[in-house]
Chains A and B, each alone.
Chain A
Protein backbone atom coordinates (compact mmCIF):
# COMPACT_ATOMS: atom_id res chain seq x y z
CA UNK A 1 0.00 0.00 0.00
CA UNK A 2 1.32 3.42 -0.88
CA UNK A 3 -0.77 6.06 0.87
CA UNK A 4 1.38 8.92 -0.34
CA UNK A 5 3.74 9.49 -3.16
CA UNK A 6 5.70 12.61 -3.80
CA UNK A 7 7.35 13.27 -7.10
CA UNK A 8 10.28 15.62 -7.09
CA UNK A 9 11.45 17.85 -9.83
CA UNK A 10 14.70 18.68 -8.14
CA UNK A 11 15.61 15.04 -7.98
CA UNK A 12 19.04 14.50 -9.50
CA UNK A 13 20.75 11.25 -10.32
CA UNK A 14 22.98 8.79 -8.46
CA UNK A 15 26.16 10.54 -9.65
CA UNK A 16 24.89 13.76 -8.11
CA UNK A 17 24.20 11.97 -4.84
CA UNK A 18 27.67 10.40 -4.86
CA UNK A 19 29.34 13.76 -5.50
CA UNK A 20 27.31 15.26 -2.67
CA UNK A 21 28.38 12.53 -0.25
CA UNK A 22 32.03 12.68 -1.34
CA UNK A 23 32.06 16.43 -0.78
CA UNK A 24 30.29 16.10 2.54
CA UNK A 25 32.88 13.60 3.75
CA UNK A 26 35.66 15.83 2.44
CA UNK A 27 37.04 13.11 0.20
CA UNK A 28 38.88 13.34 -3.10
CA UNK A 29 37.07 11.81 -6.07
CA UNK A 30 40.25 10.03 -7.10
CA UNK A 31 40.66 8.59 -3.62
CA UNK A 32 37.21 7.54 -2.42
CA UNK A 33 36.91 5.55 0.79
CA UNK A 34 34.60 3.09 -0.84
CA UNK A 35 33.17 1.38 2.24
CA UNK A 36 32.28 4.64 3.94
CA UNK A 37 30.69 6.07 0.81
CA UNK A 38 28.80 2.84 0.10
CA UNK A 39 27.42 2.91 3.62
CA UNK A 40 26.31 6.54 3.31
CA UNK A 41 24.85 5.92 -0.12
CA UNK A 42 22.83 2.92 1.03
CA UNK A 43 21.60 4.82 4.09
CA UNK A 44 20.31 7.61 1.84
CA UNK A 45 18.64 5.15 -0.53
CA UNK A 46 17.04 3.46 2.45
CA UNK A 47 15.66 6.77 3.66
CA UNK A 48 14.35 7.62 0.20
CA UNK A 49 12.54 4.30 0.11
CA UNK A 50 11.11 4.80 3.54
CA UNK A 51 9.78 8.15 2.40
CA UNK A 52 8.15 6.40 -0.51
CA UNK A 53 9.87 8.74 -2.90
CA UNK A 54 9.87 7.63 -6.45
CA UNK A 55 13.31 6.12 -6.80
CA UNK A 56 14.79 5.93 -10.27
CA UNK A 57 16.21 2.52 -11.14
CA UNK A 58 19.58 4.13 -11.74
CA UNK A 59 20.00 4.64 -8.00
CA UNK A 60 19.80 0.90 -7.42
CA UNK A 61 22.19 0.13 -10.27
CA UNK A 62 24.68 2.49 -8.67
CA UNK A 63 24.17 0.81 -5.28
CA UNK A 64 25.13 -2.53 -6.79
CA UNK A 65 28.13 -1.00 -8.58
CA UNK A 66 29.33 0.40 -5.25
CA UNK A 67 28.91 -2.94 -3.53
CA UNK A 68 30.73 -4.64 -6.37
CA UNK A 69 33.65 -2.26 -5.99
CA UNK A 70 33.62 -2.73 -2.25
CA UNK A 71 33.64 -6.51 -2.62
CA UNK A 72 36.55 -6.20 -5.00
CA UNK A 73 38.62 -4.34 -2.42
CA UNK A 74 38.14 -7.22 -0.01
CA UNK A 75 39.64 -9.76 -2.39
CA UNK A 76 43.19 -11.04 -1.80
CA UNK A 77 45.78 -9.41 -4.06
CA UNK A 78 46.03 -12.31 -6.52
CA UNK A 79 42.31 -12.54 -7.04
CA UNK A 80 42.18 -8.76 -7.55
CA UNK A 81 44.63 -9.00 -10.44
CA UNK A 82 42.65 -11.85 -11.91
CA UNK A 83 39.42 -9.90 -11.70
CA UNK A 84 41.07 -6.94 -13.39
CA UNK A 85 42.30 -9.10 -16.22
CA UNK A 86 38.72 -10.16 -16.83
CA UNK A 87 37.38 -6.73 -17.63
CA UNK A 88 37.54 -3.03 -16.96
CA UNK A 89 38.12 -1.82 -13.43
CA UNK A 90 34.70 -0.73 -12.14
CA UNK A 91 36.30 1.67 -9.70
CA UNK A 92 38.32 3.46 -12.36
CA UNK A 93 35.22 3.60 -14.50
CA UNK A 94 33.21 5.18 -11.70
CA UNK A 95 35.92 7.74 -10.95
CA UNK A 96 36.10 8.68 -14.63
CA UNK A 97 32.32 9.08 -14.75
CA UNK A 98 32.27 11.23 -11.63
CA UNK A 99 35.02 13.49 -12.97
CA UNK A 100 33.25 13.83 -16.31
CA UNK A 101 29.88 14.54 -14.65
CA UNK A 102 31.46 17.07 -12.33
CA UNK A 103 32.72 19.10 -15.29
CA UNK A 104 29.20 19.48 -16.60
CA UNK A 105 27.88 20.32 -13.17
CA UNK A 106 30.39 23.15 -13.16
CA UNK A 107 29.27 24.19 -16.65
CA UNK A 108 25.67 24.17 -15.43
CA UNK A 109 26.72 26.51 -12.63
CA UNK A 110 28.20 28.91 -15.14
CA UNK A 111 25.03 28.81 -17.22
CA UNK A 112 22.97 29.47 -14.12
CA UNK A 113 25.13 32.49 -13.29
CA UNK A 114 24.73 33.74 -16.86
CA UNK A 115 20.99 33.25 -16.56
CA UNK A 116 20.97 35.48 -13.49
CA UNK A 117 23.08 38.14 -15.19
CA UNK A 118 20.60 38.58 -18.02
CA UNK A 119 17.36 38.05 -16.21
CA UNK A 120 16.90 41.81 -16.18
CA UNK A 121 16.86 42.10 -19.97
CA UNK A 122 13.42 41.68 -21.49
CA UNK A 123 12.65 41.25 -25.17
CA UNK A 124 9.43 41.67 -27.07
CA UNK A 125 7.23 38.65 -27.33
CA UNK A 126 9.36 36.29 -25.38
CA UNK A 127 8.84 34.86 -21.96
CA UNK A 128 10.27 37.06 -19.26
CA UNK A 129 12.70 35.45 -16.90
CA UNK A 130 12.20 36.21 -13.27
CA UNK A 131 12.31 34.59 -9.92
CA UNK A 132 10.74 35.62 -6.67
CA UNK A 133 13.36 34.08 -4.45
CA UNK A 134 16.79 35.31 -5.29
CA UNK A 135 18.56 35.80 -2.00
CA UNK A 136 20.52 32.67 -1.29
CA UNK A 137 20.83 29.22 -2.70
CA UNK A 138 18.07 26.68 -2.75
CA UNK A 139 18.74 23.69 -0.56
CA UNK A 140 18.78 20.58 -2.74
CA UNK A 141 16.85 17.43 -2.04
CA UNK A 142 20.06 15.89 -0.74
CA UNK A 143 20.57 18.74 1.70
CA UNK A 144 17.02 18.30 2.93
CA UNK A 145 17.41 14.54 3.22
CA UNK A 146 20.63 14.96 5.10
CA UNK A 147 19.05 17.41 7.53
CA UNK A 148 16.07 15.09 7.92
CA UNK A 149 18.36 12.14 8.69
CA UNK A 150 19.91 14.17 11.48
CA UNK A 151 16.54 15.21 12.88
CA UNK A 152 15.38 11.59 12.91
CA UNK A 153 18.56 10.45 14.61
CA UNK A 154 18.40 13.10 17.32
CA UNK A 155 14.77 12.33 18.02
CA UNK A 156 15.04 8.55 17.91
CA UNK A 157 15.09 8.05 21.71
CA UNK A 158 11.89 9.91 22.34
CA UNK A 159 10.00 8.49 19.40
CA UNK A 160 7.02 6.38 20.35
CA UNK A 161 5.33 3.98 18.03
CA UNK A 162 2.47 3.05 20.34
CA UNK A 163 -0.47 4.47 18.54
CA UNK A 164 -1.19 4.06 14.92
CA UNK A 165 -2.50 7.40 13.95
CA UNK A 166 -3.35 8.43 10.42
CA UNK A 167 -2.27 11.99 9.76
CA UNK A 168 -3.28 13.26 6.36
CA UNK A 169 -0.61 15.00 4.33
CA UNK A 170 -3.01 17.89 3.73
CA UNK A 171 -3.30 18.51 7.45
CA UNK A 172 0.46 18.74 7.84
CA UNK A 173 0.70 21.03 4.86
CA UNK A 174 -1.83 23.36 6.45
CA UNK A 175 0.00 23.20 9.80
CA UNK A 176 3.28 24.23 8.20
CA UNK A 177 1.64 27.09 6.31
CA UNK A 178 -0.13 28.22 9.48
CA UNK A 179 3.12 28.45 11.38
CA UNK A 180 4.76 30.31 8.52
CA UNK A 181 1.84 32.73 8.47
CA UNK A 182 3.06 34.13 11.78
CA UNK A 183 6.77 33.98 11.14
CA UNK A 184 8.84 35.04 8.21
CA UNK A 185 10.97 31.94 8.30
CA UNK A 186 11.59 28.79 10.28
CA UNK A 187 14.66 26.69 10.95
CA UNK A 188 14.38 23.26 9.35
CA UNK A 189 14.32 21.57 12.74
CA UNK A 190 11.44 23.74 14.03
CA UNK A 191 9.15 22.22 11.43
CA UNK A 192 9.34 18.97 13.35
CA UNK A 193 8.74 20.37 16.82
CA UNK A 194 5.20 19.07 17.06
CA UNK A 195 5.99 15.65 15.64
CA UNK A 196 5.76 12.76 18.08
CA UNK A 197 5.99 9.54 16.11
CA UNK A 198 8.36 8.48 13.37
CA UNK A 199 5.40 8.35 11.05
CA UNK A 200 4.58 11.92 11.85
CA UNK A 201 8.16 12.96 11.19
CA UNK A 202 7.96 11.33 7.79
CA UNK A 203 4.60 12.90 6.93
CA UNK A 204 5.91 16.30 8.02
CA UNK A 205 8.94 15.91 5.79
CA UNK A 206 6.79 14.84 2.86
CA UNK A 207 4.52 17.82 3.43
CA UNK A 208 7.60 20.02 3.30
CA UNK A 209 8.72 18.51 0.00
CA UNK A 210 5.25 18.85 -1.46
CA UNK A 211 5.09 22.52 -0.47
CA UNK A 212 8.46 23.12 -2.09
CA UNK A 213 7.28 21.41 -5.24
CA UNK A 214 4.16 23.57 -5.30
CA UNK A 215 6.39 26.61 -4.81
CA UNK A 216 4.52 27.67 -1.69
CA UNK A 217 7.70 27.65 0.34
CA UNK A 218 11.43 27.56 -0.33
CA UNK A 219 14.23 25.91 1.59
CA UNK A 220 17.25 28.18 1.71
CA UNK A 221 20.81 27.71 2.76
CA UNK A 222 23.35 30.48 3.11
CA UNK A 223 26.32 28.15 2.66
CA UNK A 224 27.02 24.63 1.52
CA UNK A 225 25.98 22.18 4.25
CA UNK A 226 24.84 25.14 6.33
CA UNK A 227 21.65 25.46 8.33
CA UNK A 228 18.48 25.18 6.27
CA UNK A 229 15.68 27.68 6.75
CA UNK A 230 12.18 27.53 5.36
CA UNK A 231 10.61 30.65 3.85
CA UNK A 232 7.12 31.26 2.66
CA UNK A 233 6.85 32.50 -0.90
CA UNK A 234 4.73 35.63 -0.81
CA UNK A 235 3.62 35.52 -4.41
CA UNK A 236 2.48 31.95 -4.09
CA UNK A 237 -0.23 32.96 -1.63
CA UNK A 238 -2.30 34.85 -4.12
CA UNK A 239 -1.42 32.69 -7.03
CA UNK A 240 -2.50 29.11 -7.29
CA UNK A 241 0.55 27.34 -8.67
CA UNK A 242 -1.60 24.58 -10.10
CA UNK A 243 -3.59 26.85 -12.39
CA UNK A 244 -1.21 29.56 -13.43
CA UNK A 245 0.65 28.41 -16.48
CA UNK A 246 2.78 30.46 -18.78
CA UNK A 247 0.48 29.59 -21.64
CA UNK A 248 -2.22 31.82 -20.30
CA UNK A 249 -3.05 34.67 -22.63
CA UNK A 250 -1.63 37.99 -21.62
CA UNK A 251 -5.02 39.64 -21.50
CA UNK A 252 -6.02 37.65 -18.43
Chain B
Protein backbone atom coordinates (compact mmCIF):
# COMPACT_ATOMS: atom_id res chain seq x y z
CA UNK B 1 0.00 0.00 0.00
CA UNK B 2 1.25 3.45 -0.71
CA UNK B 3 1.42 6.07 1.98
CA UNK B 4 -1.76 7.92 0.98
CA UNK B 5 -3.71 4.68 0.93
CA UNK B 6 -2.56 3.77 4.46
CA UNK B 7 -3.53 7.23 5.64
CA UNK B 8 -7.03 6.71 4.22
CA UNK B 9 -7.29 3.34 5.94
CA UNK B 10 -6.26 4.86 9.25
CA UNK B 11 -8.79 7.64 8.80
CA UNK B 12 -11.53 5.10 8.12
CA UNK B 13 -10.63 3.07 11.20
CA UNK B 14 -10.51 6.10 13.48
CA UNK B 15 -13.88 7.19 12.13
CA UNK B 16 -15.72 3.89 12.64
CA UNK B 17 -14.41 3.06 16.07
CA UNK B 18 -16.47 3.99 19.09
CA UNK B 19 -13.49 3.75 21.44
CA UNK B 20 -9.91 4.95 21.11
CA UNK B 21 -7.71 2.49 19.13
CA UNK B 22 -4.24 1.82 20.44
CA UNK B 23 -1.13 2.03 18.32
CA UNK B 24 -0.72 -1.74 18.60
CA UNK B 25 -4.25 -2.35 17.30
CA UNK B 26 -3.65 -0.03 14.36
CA UNK B 27 -0.37 -1.77 13.53
CA UNK B 28 -2.03 -5.19 13.66
CA UNK B 29 -4.77 -4.15 11.28
CA UNK B 30 -2.73 -2.09 8.85
CA UNK B 31 0.43 -4.16 9.02
CA UNK B 32 3.00 -1.39 9.27
CA UNK B 33 5.57 -0.54 11.92
CA UNK B 34 4.62 1.57 14.92
CA UNK B 35 6.94 4.35 13.82
CA UNK B 36 5.39 4.41 10.37
CA UNK B 37 1.87 4.59 11.83
CA UNK B 38 2.83 7.34 14.25
CA UNK B 39 4.32 9.35 11.44
CA UNK B 40 1.21 8.95 9.29
CA UNK B 41 -1.08 9.82 12.19
CA UNK B 42 0.84 13.06 12.60
CA UNK B 43 0.42 13.71 8.87
CA UNK B 44 -3.34 13.10 9.03
CA UNK B 45 -3.49 15.49 11.97
CA UNK B 46 -1.81 18.13 9.87
CA UNK B 47 -4.04 17.46 6.89
CA UNK B 48 -7.12 17.94 9.03
CA UNK B 49 -5.76 21.18 10.43
CA UNK B 50 -4.74 22.47 7.00
CA UNK B 51 -8.14 22.02 5.47
CA UNK B 52 -9.76 23.46 8.63
CA UNK B 53 -11.74 20.29 9.21
CA UNK B 54 -14.29 20.10 11.99
CA UNK B 55 -12.72 16.78 12.95
CA UNK B 56 -9.48 16.02 14.70
CA UNK B 57 -7.54 12.98 15.84
CA UNK B 58 -7.86 13.00 19.60
CA UNK B 59 -5.09 11.29 21.56
CA UNK B 60 -6.81 9.88 24.58
CA UNK B 61 -6.84 6.82 26.83
CA UNK B 62 -3.62 5.50 25.27
CA UNK B 63 -5.26 5.47 21.88
CA UNK B 64 -6.53 7.49 18.93
CA UNK B 65 -10.02 8.38 17.79
CA UNK B 66 -11.74 10.92 15.60
CA UNK B 67 -13.64 13.59 17.47
CA UNK B 68 -14.97 17.04 16.70
CA UNK B 69 -12.94 20.17 17.19
CA UNK B 70 -14.22 22.62 19.79
CA UNK B 71 -16.70 25.25 18.68
CA UNK B 72 -19.62 23.19 17.47
CA UNK B 73 -21.47 22.54 20.68
CA UNK B 74 -24.15 25.08 19.79
CA UNK B 75 -25.31 22.91 16.88
CA UNK B 76 -24.56 19.58 18.50
CA UNK B 77 -26.75 20.62 21.41
CA UNK B 78 -29.57 21.31 18.98
CA UNK B 79 -29.12 17.90 17.43
CA UNK B 80 -29.20 16.12 20.77
CA UNK B 81 -31.92 18.23 22.33
CA UNK B 82 -33.86 15.18 23.39
CA UNK B 83 -31.10 14.08 25.66
CA UNK B 84 -30.51 15.28 29.17
CA UNK B 85 -27.34 17.04 30.02
CA UNK B 86 -24.55 14.88 31.27
CA UNK B 87 -22.48 16.50 33.90
CA UNK B 88 -21.05 14.57 36.81
CA UNK B 89 -22.30 15.55 40.24
CA UNK B 90 -19.99 16.58 43.03
CA UNK B 91 -20.38 13.21 44.76
CA UNK B 92 -19.66 11.40 41.51
CA UNK B 93 -16.52 13.49 40.96
CA UNK B 94 -15.30 12.92 44.51
CA UNK B 95 -15.94 9.19 44.33
CA UNK B 96 -14.23 9.01 40.95
CA UNK B 97 -11.18 10.86 42.18
CA UNK B 98 -10.84 8.45 45.11
CA UNK B 99 -11.14 5.46 42.78
CA UNK B 100 -8.67 7.01 40.32
CA UNK B 101 -5.97 7.58 42.92
CA UNK B 102 -6.51 4.55 45.14
CA UNK B 103 -7.46 1.84 42.68
CA UNK B 104 -8.08 -0.98 43.06
CA UNK B 105 -10.20 -0.01 46.02
CA UNK B 106 -13.21 -1.49 47.84
CA UNK B 107 -16.47 0.29 48.47
CA UNK B 108 -15.83 0.33 52.22
CA UNK B 109 -12.48 2.04 51.67
CA UNK B 110 -14.09 4.74 49.52
CA UNK B 111 -16.74 5.28 52.17
CA UNK B 112 -14.08 5.57 54.85
CA UNK B 113 -12.53 8.50 52.97
CA UNK B 114 -15.73 10.24 51.93
CA UNK B 115 -17.52 9.67 55.23
CA UNK B 116 -20.77 8.70 53.46
CA UNK B 117 -22.30 5.76 51.67
CA UNK B 118 -21.41 5.52 48.01
CA UNK B 119 -23.55 2.61 46.78
CA UNK B 120 -25.79 4.78 44.61
CA UNK B 121 -22.97 6.83 43.16
CA UNK B 122 -20.90 3.73 42.38
CA UNK B 123 -23.83 2.17 40.56
CA UNK B 124 -24.25 5.27 38.40
CA UNK B 125 -20.53 5.33 37.65
CA UNK B 126 -20.56 1.63 36.74
CA UNK B 127 -23.54 2.24 34.46
CA UNK B 128 -21.74 5.14 32.82
CA UNK B 129 -18.72 2.85 32.39
CA UNK B 130 -16.50 5.35 34.15
CA UNK B 131 -15.71 2.72 36.78
CA UNK B 132 -15.35 -1.04 36.49
CA UNK B 133 -15.10 -3.99 38.83
CA UNK B 134 -11.42 -4.80 39.01
CA UNK B 135 -11.50 -8.03 41.00
CA UNK B 136 -11.93 -9.07 44.59
CA UNK B 137 -9.85 -8.21 47.59
CA UNK B 138 -8.30 -11.20 49.35
CA UNK B 139 -9.62 -10.28 52.75
CA UNK B 140 -12.62 -11.15 54.89
CA UNK B 141 -15.73 -11.39 52.73
CA UNK B 142 -13.67 -10.98 49.53
CA UNK B 143 -15.19 -7.56 48.74
CA UNK B 144 -15.29 -6.26 45.15
CA UNK B 145 -12.53 -3.95 44.01
CA UNK B 146 -13.19 -0.97 41.74
CA UNK B 147 -10.99 0.76 39.19
CA UNK B 148 -11.31 3.36 36.42
CA UNK B 149 -11.94 2.58 32.74
CA UNK B 150 -10.84 3.83 29.34
CA UNK B 151 -14.13 5.72 29.22
CA UNK B 152 -12.98 7.54 32.36
CA UNK B 153 -9.82 8.61 30.54
CA UNK B 154 -11.82 9.75 27.54
CA UNK B 155 -14.33 11.64 29.65
CA UNK B 156 -11.54 13.68 31.18
CA UNK B 157 -9.34 13.66 28.06
CA UNK B 158 -6.43 11.91 29.76
CA UNK B 159 -3.81 9.73 28.08
CA UNK B 160 -3.35 7.69 31.23
CA UNK B 161 -4.06 7.91 34.96
CA UNK B 162 -0.53 8.96 35.86
CA UNK B 163 -1.18 12.21 34.00
CA UNK B 164 -3.17 13.41 37.02
CA UNK B 165 -1.20 15.47 39.57
CA UNK B 166 0.01 13.49 42.58
CA UNK B 167 -1.94 13.66 45.83
CA UNK B 168 1.06 15.28 47.52
CA UNK B 169 1.02 18.06 44.94
CA UNK B 170 -2.68 18.49 45.47
CA UNK B 171 -2.19 18.86 49.22
CA UNK B 172 0.48 21.50 48.61
CA UNK B 173 -1.73 23.30 46.12
CA UNK B 174 -4.54 23.29 48.67
CA UNK B 175 -2.31 24.82 51.30
CA UNK B 176 -1.08 27.51 48.96
CA UNK B 177 -4.64 28.35 48.03
CA UNK B 178 -5.55 28.69 51.67
CA UNK B 179 -2.67 31.04 52.34
CA UNK B 180 -3.70 33.14 49.36
CA UNK B 181 -7.24 33.10 50.68
CA UNK B 182 -6.46 34.30 54.16
CA UNK B 183 -3.98 36.82 52.78
CA UNK B 184 -6.55 38.43 50.56
CA UNK B 185 -9.10 38.46 53.33
CA UNK B 186 -6.81 40.43 55.64
CA UNK B 187 -5.98 43.09 53.11
CA UNK B 188 -8.22 45.44 51.19
CA UNK B 189 -8.17 44.44 47.55
CA UNK B 190 -6.10 47.42 46.35
CA UNK B 191 -3.24 46.58 48.66
CA UNK B 192 -2.43 43.17 47.27
CA UNK B 193 1.10 43.48 46.00
CA UNK B 194 1.72 42.75 42.34
CA UNK B 195 4.47 40.22 43.11
CA UNK B 196 2.06 38.00 45.03
CA UNK B 197 1.59 34.77 43.16
CA UNK B 198 -1.42 34.72 40.84
CA UNK B 199 -4.23 32.63 42.24
CA UNK B 200 -4.86 29.40 40.37
CA UNK B 201 -7.59 29.76 37.80
CA UNK B 202 -10.88 29.15 39.53
CA UNK B 203 -13.70 27.03 38.31
CA UNK B 204 -15.88 30.04 37.67
CA UNK B 205 -13.25 31.74 35.55
CA UNK B 206 -12.90 28.70 33.39
CA UNK B 207 -16.62 28.46 33.00
CA UNK B 208 -16.90 32.09 32.10
CA UNK B 209 -14.16 31.66 29.57
CA UNK B 210 -15.83 28.73 27.92
CA UNK B 211 -19.09 30.58 27.71
CA UNK B 212 -17.49 33.37 25.76
CA UNK B 213 -15.99 30.84 23.39
CA UNK B 214 -19.30 29.11 22.86
Contact = CB atoms under 8 A, between A and B. Distances in A.
Contacts of A113: 203, 206
Interface in A92-109: 97, 99-109
Contacts of B73: 119-120, 122, 130
A201 B132 CA distance: 44
Contacts of B185: 26
A117 interface: yes
Interface stretch (B43-51, B110-118, B135-143): B110-118
B89 interface: yes
B31 to A, nearest CB: 25
Contacts of B90: 10, 12, 108, 140
Interface of A: 9-16, 26, 28, 56, 58, 62, 97, 99-132, 134-137, 140, 222-223, 239, 241, 244-246, 248, 250, 252
Helix, strand, loop or mixed for chain A's interface? loop
B83 A128 contact: yes
Contact of B84 (A28, A56, A246): A246
How many chain B residues sit at the interface, stated as a range, is 35 or more
A112 to B, nearest CB: 5
Interface string B100-127: 1100000000000111110000000000
B25 to A, nearest CB: 17
Contact of B204 (A123, A125, A137, A252): A137
A115 B208 contact: no
A15 B98 CA distance: 15
B113 A101 contact: yes
A103 B174 contact: yes
Contact of A248 (B16, B83, B93, B157): B83
A131 B73 CA distance: 10
B182 interface: yes
Interface string B172-214: 0110001000100100000000000000000110111011011
A123 B171 contact: no
B77 interface: yes
Contacts of B77: 128, 130
Given A26-B182, A56-B116, A56-B117, A108 B84 contact: no
A117 to B, nearest CB: 6
Contacts of B17: 124
A98 B65 CA distance: 40
